[in-house]
Amino acid sequence: MTRMQGKESPGNAPETLAAVLKEAFEPLEHALRGKRAAVEVRERGTVVSVGRGVARVAGLEGARSEELLAFPGGVYGIAFNLDPGSVGAILLGESPELAAGSDVRRTGRVVDVPVGDALLGRVVDAIGRPLDGKGPIGAHRRRPVEREAPPIMDRLPVTVPLQTGLKVVDALIPIGRGQRELILGDRQTGKTSIAVDAIINQRDKEVRSVYCSVGQRDSSVARVASDLEKRGALEQTVLVVASGEEPAGMRFIAPYAAMAMGEYFMERGEDALVVFDDLTQHARAYRELSLLLRRPPGREAYPGDIFFIHARLLERSTHLGEERGGGSLTALPIIETEAQNVSAYIPTNLISITDGQIYVSPALFHQGAMPAVDVGKSVSRVGGKTQLAAYRAVAGDLRLSYSQFVELEKFARFSTRLDEETKRRLQRGRRVREVLKQPLYEPVAAPEQIAVLHAVNAGVLDAVPLDMVAEAERRIRAALWERLPALAERVLAGERLGDRDRKALREVSEEAVRGITERR
């Protein structure tokens, strides 16, 4: 028996060891049950050279146009030039770790930005990172910055007005929701102020706004943010900032990122407004990148597709059909001219893309006629279709008569004797000019605009001294809400003004300014 037990003992040892191992590995088997190994293929390349805002990479044979590339130090770049044997990339940041010989890998995706209500009231950079120190942005959706414009059959005509609160714009150069209206003029003439006024006037109209600053000073952007916050418009606005100190790549993609943020609201069935301040700096950033990547230069050293980069941006603003939600996206691009040359290369490109332009005159600015909008050189190609019906009754001939007054005033300087009719037209025109003046960031409601414009058209202000026109205007605006509140509501509802309404407006206006004219 003892000999038999000794023989059986070695035979049982493997079975005992197997049982112990099985018991030990059972939790691991349970954890790995249903899991499958996946192979992830990552294509890597090598930096050949690094320039100011660009890099050339070799070894990324499968890279696609505008694909996002990951560089050392957390810096990303965009595959821009797909040359044989190398890729020219636009850098979206700077890193001391980036040098020739560094590894680069493909990400398989394009540049995208966060979108949604979480961005309202925030200041972000061109790729959606917060700049205001208010913590991370809790956006759950992202969208690529480059998207195709809506097809023609998905669009509707522009018919709903976008009130800016500026009398000279709403009455003479109306803007509609879904329109692209260019603002151009020399530097420091009030272009940004017009756009910011339009944003402030949307604070209680359920219109989301996106202000995109490209190449501007940080102090200018901070002032805009402060002005919007003081007037209660910042919480309905997204500020996208790519300052002049940012790499050219950030300045290049900033307008597309702002457009993607605005498109989210449009496709949700809402109305949105996007301001690009300004596209001159955007064009210069693109020229800088193109020259560094050795693209063939054209006129004024701009590349041949300079028209296309702005066209593909602005064509994304439109008024969608009801089957697409019925939302709209209005674009107000700003462009800077030099020495009032509106026929320069970039201004003419943008004039041909947009649906009209608001020209800001340095001469009017120096005269103190603010906003310094030159009515004769400004136009809205959508026209009166986007105006409230009441405007047509009081401002229909105002544009022509005011333009004639400007020309008449020039010739009148050379004459010592003027007939009574000419004197009357000059006096009326000077009062129209005073009425069109407006303090900064003080938008005027549409019914008040119509009451004042009707008063000056009807000759109610002819006897008012020029230095008292502003006081007369304030009285007329106050009297409208006090005496004719029902008429004001009908104006906002889009109803036309009848003869009885115009008569009532004149009587109220005459009574409001009676004390001023008697004092004279």
CA-based nearest residue to 349, from 304, 402, 290: 304
CA distance 442 to 49: 52
500 part of the active site:
no
Residues 6+ apart with CB under 8 A from 130: 122, 123, 124, 136, 137
Q: Which residues pair with 317 in a beta bridge?
A: none
Q: How far apart are CA 355 and CA 162, in angstroms?
A: 14
* Residue 61 to residues 42, 100, 352, Cα–Cα distance (Å): 12, 18, 39
* Rounded CA separation 180/415 (Å): 42
Token code pair at residue 42: 């990552």
- What are phi and psi for residue 105, nearest 5 degrees? -130, 155
- What is the end-to-end Cα distance of the chain in Å, rounded? 140
CB 445 within 8 A of CB 503: no
Q: Which residue of the set 381, 474, 496, 514 is catalytic?
A: 381
Q: Would you say 308 and 314 are in contact if contact means Cβ atoms under 8 Å apart?
A: no
Q: What is the DSSP letter of 259?
A: H
According to DSSP, the β-strands at 54-58 and 67-70 are unpaired
Q: Give the C-alpha separation, 169 to 378, whole Å.
A: 9
Q: What is the DSSP string of 276-311?
A: EE-HHHHHHHHHHHHHHTTPPB-GGG-BTTHHHHHH
d(CA 504, CA 390): 14
In DSSP terms, which residues pair with 103 in a beta bridge? 46
Task: Return the H-helix or E-strand segment holding 401.
Answer: helix 398-412
Query: What 3-state class would DSSP assign to 113?
Result: strand
3-state secondary structure 207-252: EEEEEEEECCCHHHHHHHHHHHHHCCCHHHEEEEEECCCCCHHHHH
Answer left, alpha or beta for residue 87, where phi above 0 means left and psi between -120 and 50 means alpha.
beta
Side-chain-side CA neighbours of residue 397 (13 Å): 8
The whole-angstrom separation of Cα 179 and Cα 227 is 25
Integer Rg of the chain from CA? 32
Q: Are 174 and 391 in contact (CB under 8 A)?
A: yes
The amino acid sitting at 136 is: P
Which residues are identified as catalytic? 381
